[in-house]
């Protein structure tokens, strides 16, 4: 029992670490690093700046919360998704399946906390190549969610592909 609980505990710890670092970075951006107003800007590298913005919606600004009802609706929706991810994570046994779910969970909790406290999610990471911005301004929580989802999708496609190629009961081939 302890053996199967360890990967889940690792996942919960990773989710908590993602949440904590995300919240710490947001406090630093809004406080000591001086990005107090929307549009405040701090250049760091030729291709990466900190630029404060507020996201009142979800991914890519969809489902923008224009009212208190929408705000709390988004909180409820994202909390429900986070709960589903938590249950899914606790049902998994393989660390490779648990860790990407933990990334999604930690990121979701960080953004949910922002939306509850402020009514928006604080975004600050501004990646660019000159004037070209391949991404919207984002935060660590968004990055963790995206990386987790990409890993989940990649694993599901790769694992399904291997399963379809091998007949049932056949030993794995060595290449």
Give the catalytic positions in this structure. 123, 142
Structure tokens that stand for 24 in this block: 């710490």
> What's the count of helices (H) and strands (E) in the chain, helices before strands?
4, 3
Beta bridge partner(s), residue 54: 122
| DSSP strands (E only) in the chain | 41-45, 48-55, 121-127
Q: Which own/partner contact pairs does 67-76 have at CB distance under 8 Å and 24+ positions apart? A: 71/115, 71/119, 74/115, 75/112, 75/115, 75/116
- Rounded CA gap, 43 and 30, in Å? 15
Determine if residue 119 is left, alpha or beta; phi over 0 gives left, psi from -120 to 50 gives alpha, anything else beta: left
């Amino acid at each position: 029992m302890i053996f199967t609980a360890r990967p889940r505990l690792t996942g919960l710890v990773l989710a908590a670490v993602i949440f904590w670092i995300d919240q710490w970075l947001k406090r630093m951006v809004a406080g000591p690093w001086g990005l107090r107003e929307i549009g405040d800007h701090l250049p760091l590298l030729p291709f990466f700046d900190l630029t404060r913005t507020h996201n009142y919606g979800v991914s890519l600004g969809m489902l923008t919360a224009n009212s208190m009802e929408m705000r709390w609706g988004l909180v409820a929706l994202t909390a429900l998704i986070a709960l589903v991810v938590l249950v899914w994570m606790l049902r998994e046994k393989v660390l490779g399946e648990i860790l990407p779910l933990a990334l999604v969970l930690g990121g979701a909790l960080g953004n949910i906390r922002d939306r509850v406290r402020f009514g928006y999610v604080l975004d600050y990471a501004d990646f660019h190549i000159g004037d070209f911005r391949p991404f919207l301004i984002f935060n660590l929580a968004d990055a963790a969610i995206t990386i987790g989802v990409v890993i989940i999708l990649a694993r599901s496609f790769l694992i399904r592909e291997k399963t379809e190629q091998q007949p049932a009961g056949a030993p794995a081939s060595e290449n």
